[in-house]
Structure 1
Amino acid sequence: MRIAFFDAIGWDYTIESVQSHPLGGTQSALCYLAMELVKFGHEIYLINHTKILHQSYGVTCIPIYLVNESIFIALDLDFFIVINDANKTNFLREILPLKTHLILWTGHDADQPAIQALSDPNLASLYDQIVFVSQWQRLRYIKKFNLVSEQTTVFPNCAAPIFLKTFSSKKSISLKKITPIKLAYTSTPFRGLELLLDIFPNIYAQFKNCQLQVFSSLKVYQIDSTLEQDPYVELYQRCHEIPGVEYIGSVPQPELAEHLKNVAILAYPNTFPETGCIAVMEAMASGCHVITSNLGALPETTAGFATLIPISDDWQIYKQQFTQALVTILKNIQDTNYQDELYQKLNQQIKYIKLNHNWTIRAKEWESWLQSILEDRHHSRLNWQALAKFYRDHQKYTYLISLYESELEKQPHNLELYLEAGIALILNGQESEAQLLWSVALAELSSEDYQTWVSTLVDQLVFTANQQHGLGNIDIAIALRNYVREFDSSNINNLITIANILLTHEYDLDYITQVLGEIKSKLKNCELNELTDETYLELEKLINVLAEVMPLEESTYEILEMISSWKHNSLDIANTIKEIINTSRKYYEKKSFTYKYGDIYLTICRRSYASLYFMAEVYFFSDDLSNALLLINQALAECHTLASQAITNAKKLSYLLKFGGRWQEALITYQDQIKLLTQLVSGKDDNPLTYHEPLHLIVMSFVHYYMSDDLTNRQTLLSQVSSLCQLSIANNSISQGFTPKIHISTKQTQQTKTLKIGYISHCFRTHSVGWLASGLMTQHNHEKFEIYLYIIDVLNNDRDPVCEWYKRICDHYFIGHTDFEELARQIAEDEIDILIDLDSITHDITTAVMCLKPAPIQVCWLGFNAPGLKEIDYFLIDHYVLGNEAQDYYFEKLWRLPNSYISVDGFEVHLATLKRHDLDIPNDVIIFLSSQGGQKRHPDTMSLQLQIIKNVPNSFFLIKGFADQVSIQESFYSIASEIGLSASQLRFLKPDSTSMIHRANLGIADVILDTFPYNGATTTLEALWMGIPLVTRVGQQFAARNSYTFLKNAGVEEGIAWTDEEYVEWGIKFGTDHELRRKVAEKLRRARYSAPLWDAKGFTKEVEAAYQAMWHNYVTGEMILPPGHRIG
């Protein structure tokens, strides 16, 4: 037999160590057993912490660091015997071949740490057998670890061979046990030495002719007797100090055997539960009287030959009883009347040890027992099922198959084994072998038995597939489920699971489509209430996965359409379809899916207000304005509160404006909107605003600025709306537990403080605001200002190149999405001093954050007109963009910068792609251009623009921008017809592919005609940068004065009109006066190098001075305005 002993303890020892060094009991037992087994002709290996590979007494000693699976395959072991340590069971079983039986041989008590792994029944069952050194120990393990009795065996340890040769007759014993009478202690110091040293002075006082020899230390554990390593050094020193005590320490067994020849008594007041006790066996073999406790297995080991003292919780009683027993034996030894009886008993004791604790005999017993395990080939291994589970769990499929083959030889009619063996073959990639094996099993089955067997097989296949899926073995999991598909074709749950796996792991689309086709076939004629709970859950998962992985495939649509038609549908697929619709909107070529899914969505939601509103937005952003208006009108009919009516009506108005040609309908809708808002702020509706309504009301106020230039009445109304909404937003957040901690700084820090400036916007990306704010962000002084960006990324644009640039130039950034409370909390935690809103009323999340006031100073700038919120402290403007009387209509303080409220360092321009001949326009005519979206196309201004064209000979008008092209063209043609202008002078242009090309193509124009009452902003700046004269109409509202302030800050007065008449006059002048156009173009060219409009660095210094003044006022209450700045 090939047998390996494995000892993981960190000791460096070999077989010969037992002859030359003190060694622990279990290790010495291992060495003697190994030597005997070698004598019997077996190949024996010792794997431990020896340093080199070598032979010792015929045993091959292998360093533990060499252990691996290859070594064990090469060794081809029959048995692998683990010494004491159960912690490495899984590791060892995994690398050992199947044929190798795993045995645990332990001398530990059941409470030792190294053995606690047996508490896991799965681990304990991996051992073919567990060997104990006493029945007492065995019973303790069975009770504690619930072991199977048949799995356990007892082989008591033995005395070393040297001790069995000590005495052969009564005479020899009596000659050696003469005065002085020697007592000995031969165990480790912690097992009772201290008690013995307490006892011995009393003994010595009565028997001056006795001597105690102490053979004890921790050297048996390879610990030196130094103060640093051995905690019992003081106990050894005490031995030296007590009269009659000789401290010798631990010695090798041959030397100990020589000493014990002369020892009369083993005095061992044991306090440790021995599982066997080799020290006692050695003393008994040496003809010593043994006095010890009855603790642990000592009664079993001593077999009636020793004097056993009952262990007591009271150590004084125990010591008294031990002393009395020792005195009695000492007296008997000295009494000649008792000597014959004593020596006769000792001879019997020696004979008992020689017969029962002899390593030659014990090794024969081990050999016979191990051989019986090997020869019992017709019976299953006791732990074969545990091994099967282990191999399966650890993916050791070759061993698993071998195990099943072995068991099938022993249990050829066990059909379950065929089932499990086939699955093992599949796991190992041997599908054809699995099929053959199953066909053998099924050949003789009746129809009823066949169905039972298949049902069990399907259950096992599903269980194993789930297990393999969890392990990441996706191909195997699918293969197993395909067998379920074969054996149980009606199992829809299995098909759905296969589809989920294929989709999640991006398998071939044709394969996925095939499986989805089978699912559709199964679902076609059933209702939801016919499905099991498990199938229901899997179907719900499939829907979500389809929506995520392949939302825009026909098979996905067909499944969702079928499910949506079920009468008793409680599946929550509305949100899933909504997500698919949002996905489809990103792909123009998939627009048909947008509409098809939209129909399903409306059906499932029973055309509710929310679904109608949502789909109206979908159609609107898909440029299907007709359907958008149809649905928004239906949504409006479903409104039952003033707030929802106002929000939906405003949305309708924005659609009409985007058309650019339905002005009369837009005007009626606008008048309705004014009425609705007036009633709302007057308290005509008792219904409280819902969580999101305040945000929509504020944001939708932007539509008013396209309709008329009415600063006085409209700004007052919108400020009232904003105030009402702010209160609702704050109350809703507080009621839900939101309380941002607003940062407060002390006056003492204000002079030296680096201000934390936060900018919040959804436009830190490829967007007009993103371009226009770049000059300020580039020029900031980071020594005085720490810049934080709060990027609202609802559309997942954080990888946009402009957004990436912003993230690089700021000091800190935070990306938020739809949770405005999270954003506000982050701003407060960052202790922002001044928070600047770049969106104003153009984004609901930004507005909501500002309403919660997370910073002590809040400013509105750039994005749009101020929202009219008391929580915003300042509106950053200049001296032109709002008139001097405007402060009366704003809650925010109007902070006027010395020059322009905006400045950029120019624009990037590409090569022009538009030529006059492309438009069939002669080279010698005047070209006017207006480039704006449909919502800015006010019919009154359109009429003024066409009057200019009519009055400038040889002129053409280019109209460019996003709008419904048919509608906008019809509107312009209609007005042209009214004033007698030929439609041939009008050209309608499509938007350019990029902003850089758009700017280059502006060069085709001689004059730009601005819109009113909503001027251009970015478009005006682009035109001025390109050096093209511009005509603008100046009004009262912010949106009607942008172009005015830009011209003023570019040093140009020409083209600024304060009335409709002046607008037309300036248009005609520019169109007919070449020198005027040249003069203004030259002004604009020179302005690039000196005008405030193009001086981002100077502008940034003005803004930073404003921030410092705002902060100074906040911490001191004193407002000191920088030069040129003004409030109001």
Structure 2
Amino acid sequence: MTFTTVSANDLQQQAFQHLNNGDYEQAAHLYEQAIEQEPENKSHVWHLGLALLLQGQEAEAQTAWWLGMADGEPEQIDQWTTDLLQVLQTEAERREQLPDHPVAWAIRQHMREIAPQTINNLLKIVQLSLTLTTFSDEMFDELELIELLQAKDAVVDPELLLQTLQTLLEHAAHSPSTLALGEASIEHAHNRARFVDAILRTAIEAAHGYLNPDLACLLGELCLRFEVFEVEVMRHLSTFYQNAHQYTKAIETAQACYELTETLADRVYANHLVLKCLMGASGYLAESRVAIERQEELVRSLLKSAPDDIDAVSACRLFISTFFFPYFKDDPATSRPIQNQLSSLCQSNIQRIQAETTPELLQRSPAKSNQFSPTKKLKIGYLSHCLKRHSVGWISRWLFQHHNRERFQIHTYLINQPTISAFTQQWFVDQSDHTYGFMGCNNTILERIHQDEIDILIDLDSVTLDGMCELLSAKVAPIQATWLGWDASGLPAVDYFIADPYVLPEAAQDYYSETIWRLPQTYVAVDGFEVGIPNLRREQLNIPSDAIIYLVVQGGYKRHPENVRLQMKILRDVPNSYLLIKGGADQESSKRFYEQIAEEEGVASDRLRFLSWAVDEAVHRANLGIADVVLDTFPYNGATTTLETLWMGVPLVTQVGQQFAARNSYTMMMNVGVTEGIAWSSDEYVEWGIRLGQDATLRQQISWKLRQSRQTSPLWNTKQFAHEMEAAYEQMWLKFIESK
């Protein structure tokens, strides 16, 4: 009888096949045979231990490896350890590719026991624990990874380090471990720009998508430590600070950013940020005046030079850089043409870039037989980053609810909403035929709108979102209109600005580039607001029960010194009256601002009360009931706050101007049938404020009118409003196809 002896090499190959196929017991048996034939070949031992480990026999695996090392000299043991780690590394990588993350994690834990200071393996353990959702800060601390990275002789793969940081930023951005790893990465980042890009993108998402400005600030500060793209980081960081109510840091960062900018286009935007931070804080009157005058000079210089080589990001930023003009003065005949020219300049640069990079998006698909039919079911697209618990969301939701779905197909494009809240789901997703979510403004949105063949695209954001410039400039819908979110943008690609008989004066078309489309009664309507339980009482504020309470409910942006001076005159002439000031701003600077003007007008500062903003909107509305009279701001009125005030039946004093922002309260009051409190001059504003403060009967009559208006007013009739808006869409469509 003849016996065939299988060589150790053949045994090893067969064992390896069994190992890959998951037959670990047979693989271990074959490796044992190979060891008998070649006891000096340690590779068989290392693979035997691996086969045992994969069977769950961890103790046996460790014993095999220990015995394999037992007869070696120190130098040999070092080399054998390296070889064993390579065997385990190869199998761990294979498991990660399958993917079989639990086994990969287990193998790497054994690698850690063998070589606890191998940084690259520890980084892989972090990645796997994040994938397996077993990551914790405690586990991270146990790895002692930060201490190892801080060592002078640390050896690390920079690419793997970046990948791990990116994974942490994606899954655990809020974790202290993420910031610690980011800081420890600074000395090992060969390409620091890539690290900053990853961290900054997460910071932006945290600030604007998840509304976590505190985290955004920490990540932004970390970016600065890498010492690359400092100006770009500071641009974002100034906004992060402001959103986190760190107003002093916001102002300092914005000013530092301005000092470091070089090109005219960059200086325009940087100064806009300075202005934004100063106004958001409130109380920086002299500095704000300097900044707004400088802004107008910079914008005029830019328009005069008319550059045609502006990149897309800079063009979008320039697009929003006149945002604060209407907050300072009511002069639309001057400010609107500047906005129009700036938007036109931005659009021309954007379109140049789009023509070079994405020409396919600039042309509508070949016309179908019914594409331009006057009776077709119209596809309406709504584009916004505010369709959530936001002023735009609170107001626009009713139109979505009452749309006629037999005549219109509704497409909703949500920007910067990484998660869909219950509010967004109920009022927008469930009320739309198709809803899409996007992070940032990019060609993906344009491609989606293009594929959906939208007939009328409604922009709800105007210049409140810089990326709207890029999206609307492409003109991917045959008709584009702006509604609700702000004044008109001035982009030539936008056909209409939706208004009503009151919110713009008759001569407004002279300085608007868009065609003003006036709805017959009101450009806005709601069916009401959710109202909670008030948590604000007079005794809390140390205000007598018989006192008159005036209330201002606007943030720092809208606090104009001349308007505040009028409010103090009212307070001075109405004995036993108090002014409550509510709205986001820096409390200390805002207090100094109001108290200085109060002193100049002879009003004691103890008649002023500064309130924090209610966390819950429903409670905020309930608290409006503490006021006898609400005093509106000028030259930038309230909008949603005015609607809430009127819904709660509280008398309002507003001054009417010429610009859109100075006529919002006017159109709302006209549409509820209340003219008491509408002032056409500063003197009338004071007169109405005094009269309403002194005449309790008049206040009661106005409150009764407001409550009765709930049954009769166009402002509270959203079914009628939806019908009027849809009629406007159909008329826009008819005008379009008649022009073809």
TM-score tier, shorter chain, comes to over 0.9
Q: Read off the aligned partner of 1:992 and give its amino acid letter.
A: A
Equivalent position of 1:977 in the other structure: 599
Match of 2:387 among 757, 761, 764: 764
Match of 2:445 among 815, 819, 823: 823
> 1:929, 1:1008 within 8 Å by CA — same for their partners in 2?
yes
User: What are the equivalent positions in structure 2 for 1:775-790 lying under 5 Å apart?
Assistant: 775-790=398-413
Q: Read off the aligned partner of 2:49 and give its amino acid letter.
A: G
Match of 1:884 among 506, 509, 523: 506
Match of 1:1078 among 700, 706, 724: 700
Equivalent position of 2:246 in the other structure: 624
> 2:224, 2:230 within 8 Å by CA — same for their partners in 1?
yes
User: Once the 2 structures are TM-superposed, how far is the Cα of residue 659 of structure 1 from its aligned partner?
Assistant: 1.5
Q: Check if 1:713 corresponds to 2:340.
A: no
Match of 2:323 among 697, 702, 709: 702
Q: Check if 1:615 corresponds to 2:242.
A: no
Equivalent position of 2:526 in the other structure: 904
In the alignment, the residues of structure 1 paired with residue 726 and residue 193 of structure 2 have an alpha-carbon distance, to the nearest angstrom, of 56
Q: Check if 1:1113 corresponds to 2:735.
A: yes
Instruction: Say which SS state the counterpart of residue 614 (structure 2) adopts.
Output: coil
Decide whether aligned partners of structure 1 residues 419 and 800 sit closer, same or farther in structure 2, where only a CA change above 3 A counts. Answer: same
Q: Read off the aligned partner of 1:677 and give its amino acid letter.
A: V
Equivalent position of 1:942 in the other structure: 564
User: Once the 2 structures are TM-superposed, how far is the Cα of residue 1040 of structure 1 from its aligned partner?
Assistant: 0.2
Q: Check if 1:645 corresponds to 2:267.
A: yes
Q: Read off the aligned partner of 1:760 and give its amino acid letter.
A: L
Alignment deviations for residues 1035-1074 of structure 1 (CA, whole Å, 9 cap, x no partner): 0000000101111110111111000000000011101111
In the alignment, the residues of structure 2 paired with residue 811 and residue 975 of structure 1 have an alpha-carbon distance, to the nearest angstrom, of 53
User: Once the 2 structures are TM-superposed, how far is the Cα of residue 427 of structure 1 from its aligned partner?
Assistant: 1.9
In the alignment, the residues of structure 2 paired with residue 679 and residue 694 of structure 1 have an alpha-carbon distance, to the nearest angstrom, of 15
Q: Read off the aligned partner of 1:750 and give its amino acid letter.
A: S
In the alignment, the residues of structure 1 paired with residue 387 and residue 421 of structure 2 have an alpha-carbon distance, to the nearest angstrom, of 11
Q: Read off the aligned partner of 1:422 and give its amino acid letter.
A: G
Q: Check if 1:405 corresponds to 2:405.
A: no
Match of 1:913 among 535, 548, 567: 535
Equivalent position of 1:870 in the other structure: 492
Decide whether aligned partners of structure 1 residues 589 and 641 sit closer, same or farther in structure 2, where only a CA change above 3 A counts. Answer: closer
User: Once the 2 structures are TM-superposed, how far is the Cα of residue 772 of structure 1 from its aligned partner?
Assistant: 0.8
Decide whether aligned partners of structure 1 residues 521 and 1092 sit closer, same or farther in structure 2, where only a CA change above 3 A counts. Answer: same
Match of 1:692 among 307, 313, 317: 313
Alignment deviations for residues 326-373 of structure 1 (CA, whole Å, 9 cap, x no partner): xxxxxxxxxxxxxxxxxxxxxxxxxxxxxxxxxxxxxxxxxx6xxx55
Match of 2:128 among 501, 513, 530: 501
In the alignment, the residues of structure 2 paired with residue 852 and residue 1066 of structure 1 have an alpha-carbon distance, to the nearest angstrom, of 48
In the alignment, the residues of structure 1 paired with residue 528 and residue 228 of structure 2 have an alpha-carbon distance, to the nearest angstrom, of 52
Q: Read off the aligned partner of 1:911 and give its amino acid letter.
A: I
> 1:745, 1:1115 within 8 Å by CA — same for their partners in 2?
no
In the alignment, the residues of structure 1 paired with residue 255 and residue 203 of structure 2 have an alpha-carbon distance, to the nearest angstrom, of 21
Moved more, 453-462 or 871-880: 453-462
User: Once the 2 structures are TM-superposed, how far is the Cα of residue 490 of structure 1 from its aligned partner?
Assistant: 5.3
Decide whether aligned partners of structure 1 residues 1116 and 396 sit closer, same or farther in structure 2, where only a CA change above 3 A counts. Answer: same
> 2:239, 2:277 within 8 Å by CA — same for their partners in 1?
no
Q: Read off the aligned partner of 1:985 and give its amino acid letter.
A: R
Alignment deviations for residues 930-951 of structure 1 (CA, whole Å, 9 cap, x no partner): 1001110101000101111111
Decide whether aligned partners of structure 1 residues 746 and 1051 sit closer, same or farther in structure 2, where only a CA change above 3 A counts. Answer: farther
In the alignment, the residues of structure 2 paired with residue 936 and residue 571 of structure 1 have an alpha-carbon distance, to the nearest angstrom, of 38
Tell me which protein shows more helix as a share of its residues. 2
Q: Read off the aligned partner of 2:345 and give its amino acid letter.
A: L
In the alignment, the residues of structure 1 paired with residue 396 and residue 196 of structure 2 have an alpha-carbon distance, to the nearest angstrom, of 40
Q: Read off the aligned partner of 2:396 and give its amino acid letter.
A: A
Equivalent position of 1:575 in the other structure: 197
State the aligned residue count: 738
The structure with the larger Rg is 1
Equivalent position of 2:19 in the other structure: 392
User: What are the equivalent positions in structure 2 for 1:207-606 lying under 5 Å apart?
Assistant: 372=2, 383-412=10-39, 414-488=41-115, 491-507=118-134, 509=136, 512-514=139-141, 516-518=143-145, 520-521=147-148, 523-526=150-153, 531=155, 535-565=157-187, 572-579=194-201, 581-582=203-204, 597-606=219-228
In the alignment, the residues of structure 2 paired with residue 507 and residue 524 of structure 1 have an alpha-carbon distance, to the nearest angstrom, of 27
Q: Check if 1:734 corresponds to 2:370.
A: no
Instruction: Say which SS state the counterpart of residue 988 (structure 1) adopts.
Output: strand
> 1:905, 1:1094 within 8 Å by CA — same for their partners in 2?
yes
Decide whether aligned partners of structure 1 residues 1038 and 817 sit closer, same or farther in structure 2, where only a CA change above 3 A counts. Answer: same
User: Once the 2 structures are TM-superposed, how far is the Cα of residue 712 of structure 1 from its aligned partner?
Assistant: 1.1
In the alignment, the residues of structure 2 paired with residue 990 and residue 438 of structure 1 have an alpha-carbon distance, to the nearest angstrom, of 66
In the alignment, the residues of structure 2 paired with residue 415 and residue 390 of structure 1 have an alpha-carbon distance, to the nearest angstrom, of 19
Q: Read off the aligned partner of 2:518 and give its amino acid letter.
A: R
Q: Read off the aligned partner of 2:627 and give its amino acid letter.
A: A
In the alignment, the residues of structure 2 paired with residue 571 and residue 820 of structure 1 have an alpha-carbon distance, to the nearest angstrom, of 22
Alignment deviations for residues 769-796 of structure 1 (CA, whole Å, 9 cap, x no partner): 111112222222222222222222x142
Instruction: Say which SS state the counterpart of residue 876 (structure 1) adopts.
Output: strand
> 1:608, 1:638 within 8 Å by CA — same for their partners in 2?
no
User: Once the 2 structures are TM-superposed, how far is the Cα of residue 571 of structure 1 from its aligned partner?
Assistant: 7.2
Q: Read off the aligned partner of 1:789 and give its amino acid letter.
A: T
User: Once the 2 structures are TM-superposed, how far is the Cα of residue 919 of structure 1 from its aligned partner?
Assistant: 1.2
Instruction: Say which SS state the counterpart of residue 645 (structure 2) adopts.
Output: helix
> 1:1015, 1:1039 within 8 Å by CA — same for their partners in 2?
yes
> 1:836, 1:859 within 8 Å by CA — same for their partners in 2?
yes
Alignment deviations for residues 119-178 of structure 1 (CA, whole Å, 9 cap, x no partner): xxxxxxxxxxxxxxxxxxxxxxxxxxxxxxxxxxxxxxxxxxxxxxxxxxxxxxxxxxxx
In the alignment, the residues of structure 1 paired with residue 53 and residue 285 of structure 2 have an alpha-carbon distance, to the nearest angstrom, of 72
In the alignment, the residues of structure 1 paired with residue 478 and residue 193 of structure 2 have an alpha-carbon distance, to the nearest angstrom, of 47
TM-score by length of 2: 0.93
In the alignment, the residues of structure 1 paired with residue 570 and residue 145 of structure 2 have an alpha-carbon distance, to the nearest angstrom, of 68
Higher relative contact order, chain-length normalized (CA < 8 Å, sep 6+): 2
Q: Read off the aligned partner of 2:683 and give its amino acid letter.
A: E
> 1:706, 1:1014 within 8 Å by CA — same for their partners in 2?
yes
In the alignment, the residues of structure 2 paired with residue 443 and residue 857 of structure 1 have an alpha-carbon distance, to the nearest angstrom, of 80
Decide whether aligned partners of structure 1 residues 946 and 730 sit closer, same or farther in structure 2, where only a CA change above 3 A counts. Answer: same
In the alignment, the residues of structure 2 paired with residue 499 and residue 601 of structure 1 have an alpha-carbon distance, to the nearest angstrom, of 22
Instruction: Say which SS state the counterpart of residue 649 (structure 2) adopts.
Output: coil
Decide whether aligned partners of structure 1 residues 1076 and 746 sit closer, same or farther in structure 2, where only a CA change above 3 A counts. Answer: farther
Q: Check if 1:1098 corresponds to 2:723.
A: no
In the alignment, the residues of structure 2 paired with residue 537 and residue 749 of structure 1 have an alpha-carbon distance, to the nearest angstrom, of 53
In the alignment, the residues of structure 2 paired with residue 746 and residue 484 of structure 1 have an alpha-carbon distance, to the nearest angstrom, of 67
Instruction: Say which SS state the counterpart of residue 194 (structure 2) adopts.
Output: coil
In the alignment, the residues of structure 2 paired with residue 550 and residue 562 of structure 1 have an alpha-carbon distance, to the nearest angstrom, of 17
Equivalent position of 1:71 in the other structure: none
> 1:1055, 1:1066 within 8 Å by CA — same for their partners in 2?
yes
Instruction: Say which SS state the counterpart of residue 908 (structure 1) adopts.
Output: coil
Moved more, 570-579 or 383-392: 570-579
Decide whether aligned partners of structure 1 residues 403 and 561 sit closer, same or farther in structure 2, where only a CA change above 3 A counts. Answer: same
Instruction: Say which SS state the counterpart of residue 323 (structure 2) adopts.
Output: helix
In the alignment, the residues of structure 1 paired with residue 289 and residue 666 of structure 2 have an alpha-carbon distance, to the nearest angstrom, of 26
In the alignment, the residues of structure 1 paired with residue 527 and residue 107 of structure 2 have an alpha-carbon distance, to the nearest angstrom, of 65
Decide whether aligned partners of structure 1 residues 536 and 737 sit closer, same or farther in structure 2, where only a CA change above 3 A counts. Answer: same
Alignment deviations for residues 798-855 of structure 1 (CA, whole Å, 9 cap, x no partner): 3352244311112222323324333233223222222221112211223322222111
Moved more, 935-944 or 743-752: 743-752
Decide whether aligned partners of structure 1 residues 628 and 414 sit closer, same or farther in structure 2, where only a CA change above 3 A counts. Answer: closer
Decide whether aligned partners of structure 1 residues 522 and 686 sit closer, same or farther in structure 2, where only a CA change above 3 A counts. Answer: closer
> 1:524, 1:562 within 8 Å by CA — same for their partners in 2?
no
In the alignment, the residues of structure 2 paired with residue 510 and residue 677 of structure 1 have an alpha-carbon distance, to the nearest angstrom, of 49
User: What are the equivalent positions in structure 2 for 1:1038-1053 lying under 5 Å apart?
Assistant: 1038-1053=660-675
> 1:503, 1:512 within 8 Å by CA — same for their partners in 2?
no
> 2:196, 2:228 within 8 Å by CA — same for their partners in 1?
no
Decide whether aligned partners of structure 1 residues 547 and 1115 sit closer, same or farther in structure 2, where only a CA change above 3 A counts. Answer: closer
What residue ranges of structure 2 are gaps of 5+ in the alignment?
A: none
TM-score by length of 1: 0.62
